[in-house]
Amino acid sequence: MNQTIKHLGIIMDGNRRWAKSQGLPSFEGHRAGYKKVGELLEWCREAKIETLTLFAFSTENWQRAKDEVDFLMGLFYQVFNHDIKKLHENKVRVRLIGRKETLPDNLAKAIKAAEELTQDNIGYNLNLAINYGGRAELLDAFKKILKNPPEEITEETITNNLYTAGQSDPDLIIRTSGEQRLSGFLTWQSAYSELLFIQHHWPEFSQQDFNDALTNFANRHRRFGK
């Protein structure tokens, strides 16, 4: 079919399992996963993928050990406070999708500044799903549209009140580490997304894996319910 991807979603799974397999503490897995994102951004630019959405931290992940959560919050802060400079130079618009109000204050402020800095960038979009849950996103959308008369609420109304409002739905969603479920990732937006599950843990995800995924997608026939 030779179809191309405009919006790619990735569930970056397996950092801790990779670290364990290497005899390393879990935070080293997260550090390796963070470095992998930098490589991925280059691959996406080369492939002319306009929007990339990465599932980084779910609303359930707060249940993990405090030192692990603190380390992850530090990595996220580095993205929004330091890495944002290069992203802005490359004309990437960066957005957080998730509940900002319960994030640490310093991170929330860095996110706000990063979003304002890059809001006029055109061509590439990077959505970071942090403190994100598909059900939470729908609940937040419903709270915004409850003021509308029921007969005026349409699918478009809901779409326009999601965290990803104004963006296309993902064409392909990849999940690493062998798990075959979406775990609430882009619940509404993924209705007609193609899915691909890869055995490699996220830090092991290679450019060959990426290219194979693009080829796999290009050869699929998307019916969109027809």
Residues with catalytic function? 13, 61
Ligand-binding site membership of 59 (annotated) = yes
Helices then strands, counting H and E runs in the chain, come out as 8, 6
Cα(first)–Cα(last) distance of the chain, in Å? 16
Collapse the DSSP code of 34 into the 3-class scheme (helix H, G, I; strand E, B; otherwise coil) and give the result. Answer: helix
Q: Are 36 and 205 in contact (CB under 8 A)?
A: yes
13 is known to lie in a ligand binding site = yes
Ligand-binding site membership of 169 (annotated) = no
Helix or strand run (H / E) with residue 220: none
220 is in an annotated binding site: no
Instruction: For residue 216, say whether it is annotated as part of any ligand binding site.
Output: no
Cα maximum dimension of the chain: 57
17 is in an annotated binding site: yes
Is 23 among the annotated ligand-binding positions? Answer: no
d(CA 222, CA 58): 29
Tell me whether residue 214 is exposed, middle or buried, using C-beta atoms within 10 angstroms of its C-beta: 0 to 12, 13 to 18, 19 or more.
Answer: middle
**Does 195 belong to an annotated binding site?**
no
Q: Is 183 annotated in some ligand binding site?
A: yes
Looking at the DSSP assignment, which residues form a beta bridge with residue 52? 8, 126
Q: What are phi and psi of 45, to 5 degrees?
A: -65, -45
Backbone angles phi, psi at 12, to 5 degrees: -85, 85
Helix, strand, or coil (residue 51): strand
CA 81-30-64 angle, to 5 degrees, is 100
128 is in an annotated binding site: no
Annotated binding site for Mg(2+): 13, 194
Annotated binding site: 13-18, 30, 58-60, 62, 64, 175, 181-183, 194
Annotated binding site for substrate: 14-18, 30, 58-60, 62, 64, 175, 181-183
